Amino acid sequence: MAYKVLDLFSGAGGLSRGFYDAGYDVVLGVDFDEAALKTFKENHGKAEAMKLDLFDHSNIDVIINFLEEKDIKLDVLVGGPPCQGFSVAGPRDMNDKRNTLYTAMVKLAEQVKPQAVVLENVPGMVQTNGGIGAKRVVEDFAKIGYRMVPKLLYAPDYGIPQMRKRVFFVGLRDSHEDFKFPEPTVGKNDYVTCEEAIGDLPSLQTDEGDIIYGEEIQDYLYPIQNDYQKRMRANSEKVRNHIGSIPIEKTKFMISLVPEGKNYKALPEEYQGIYKYHEALTRYHSKKPSNTINTGHRSHFHYKWNRIPTVRESARLQSFPDDFIFYGNKSEQYRQVGNAVPPILGQVVADALLPYLKDGE
């Protein structure tokens, strides 16, 4: 019998997709984003999706009622609650009310008592103000019987073609042992690169070099070139979510002046003062993992073509397989991809957790 998983603050469900791919039974995703919930429901087998405001802790009762009505004994609670106050991507506000959203996970865990809790968040949780955010999480879960172990994981170390750092907390209920995180599976010289990850996807260029939108459903134009592409294409016969964005002529010209791996600071001197945003005109490097995927700020560009990556290219760099289809409008899809946990990273944690779980607990 597969262990049952519930994903709180699920978004599109990157973390729970990792558990799903590891053989767990994902039963429910909870979020407040309708487009993300549509994506979640379509990509997690028979899982249900539920729209709830988790600032309102009375909604936890709605989740508990769902589990009771379905006669589900939850084994693992997973989630990536927003903690914007700890993120380097925005202003660090320790009093940002979103920092306390994780307490919904604490309250749900206290009542349904899963064997394990997996919480994912930004590195600032362990790095900002002496790691006060991480200490809060550890202490609050300790009060209800969970030994939470935090660990900063670097995505390229586990075969993901993206320079993304995230902190994971894994807690075991009423356990006398700490969860042991898996060692890296990939050495630094063998990191999966941008080109290896997305080089087989249609270029969305005409023979004359013009950028095109492309079709909603496209054929693979190139054969599989490596093991990563083989994994991404394993259950997919067509390319979806691969629609181009045609930049304005000024942007197209400016990015054409930026070498791969560089940003606006590499522009010729006469254009130096135009951009202020520190990631403006960032071109990925073909021979390295990508920068951390954002939520669609239009500041990152393809390592070769003078356009931003498509949703599918960003999803590949996040390790979403090609059979994982994103729903909503294009900006909603970009947000879902950028906010997600890389599924392969979720699967690495899910695989490592299996030996700690017991049937019938």
Name the stretches of the chain with pLDDT < 70: 83-99, 361
User: From CA 76, how far away is CA 80, in angstroms rounded?
Assistant: 14
- pLDDT (0 to 100) of residue 91: 45
**Catalytic (active site) residue 194:** no
- pLDDT (0 to 100) of residue 128: 77
User: From CA 79, how far away is CA 76, in angstroms rounded?
Assistant: 10
Tokens of 274: 């135009």
- pLDDT (0 to 100) of residue 101: 86
- pLDDT (0 to 100) of residue 361: 62
Across-strand partners of 120?
168
- Per-residue DSSP letters for 255-268? HHTSPTT--GGGS-
CATH superfamily of 4-186+341-356: Vaccinia Virus protein VP39 (3.40.50.150)
User: From CA 110, how far away is CA 238, in angstroms rounded?
Assistant: 44
Instruction: Report yes or no: 142 and 113 within 8 Å, Cβ to Cβ.
Output: no
pTM (two decimals): 0.94
- pLDDT (0 to 100) of residue 92: 43
DSSP 340: S
- pLDDT (0 to 100) of residue 126: 85
Choosing from 26, 83, 119, 349, which is the catalytic residue? 83
Three-class DSSP category at 8: strand
User: From CA 237, how far away is CA 315, in angstroms rounded?
Assistant: 17
Tokens of 337: 């991809």
User: From CA 55, how far away is CA 53, in angstroms rounded?
Assistant: 6
Instruction: Report yes or no: 167 and 126 within 8 Å, Cβ to Cβ.
Output: yes
What residue spans define the domains of the chain? Answer: 4-186+341-356
Query: Residues 168, 171, 172, 177: is their CA dihedral positive or negative?
Result: positive
Distances 242 to 69, 130, 150, 217, 252 between C-alpha atoms, Å: 40, 42, 36, 8, 19
Reported as type and span, the H/E element at residue 25 is strand 25-31
